Structure 1
């Protein structure tokens, strides 16, 4: 993976975690996450979101379940802490301070 792709992945992961942390019950589906990433200027495909969700799950930052046609992600407590900047993970971009 190139340095640019690595940077995009870190930003994509942060975008996903921040959205999940602000979502009701910390949950969303993959289709919505694709739209969210793209709306925040992080060019993203469905395959990329699926890969990031797998990675976030492996790291214990989100739980992921397949529900037939939908893949549903829920942020864990640690994932929310990272989204809020309270803790760090080398594979997730650190959020900027402030609102």
Structure 2
């Protein structure tokens, strides 16, 4: 697996973890972008939005609001299962034990 793909898998897991910690399991692309930077994962805002759409396709999040400036998302039960290690989705890093 390429290093770029490993970083994407890590980013997807961190996004889900961040949402799992937020009130109402809800956040926006700008807040998540800042959270990723805090954890040393430097991605563009556009890359974050692309990955949010990917996570929606996997059933891990719901998109509640989407415009060119910001996307508002909410963690789903399936996404929470991935964060807590009860479920595995190809393309998302498995959480450490």
State the TM-score, normalizing by the size of structure 2: 0.91
Report the equivalent of 2:14: 15
Which structure 2 segments of 5+ residues have no match?
A: none
Aligned residues: 96
**What's the RMSD between the two structures over aligned residues?**
1.4
Tell me, in whole angstroms, the C-alpha distance in 1 between the residues paired with 2:68 and 2:55: 20
Report how far residue 5 of structure 1 moved: 1.2
Where does residue 25 of structure 2 map in the other structure? 26
Question: Structure 1 regions of 5+ residues with no counterpart?
Answer: none
Aligned to 1:42: 41
Structure 1 segments, 4+ long, off by >2 Å, are 67-70
Cα separation, 2, equivalents of 1:85 and 1:40: 20
Q: How does 1:80-99 map to 2 (within 5 A)?
A: 80-97=80-97
Normalising by structure 1, report the TM-score: 0.90
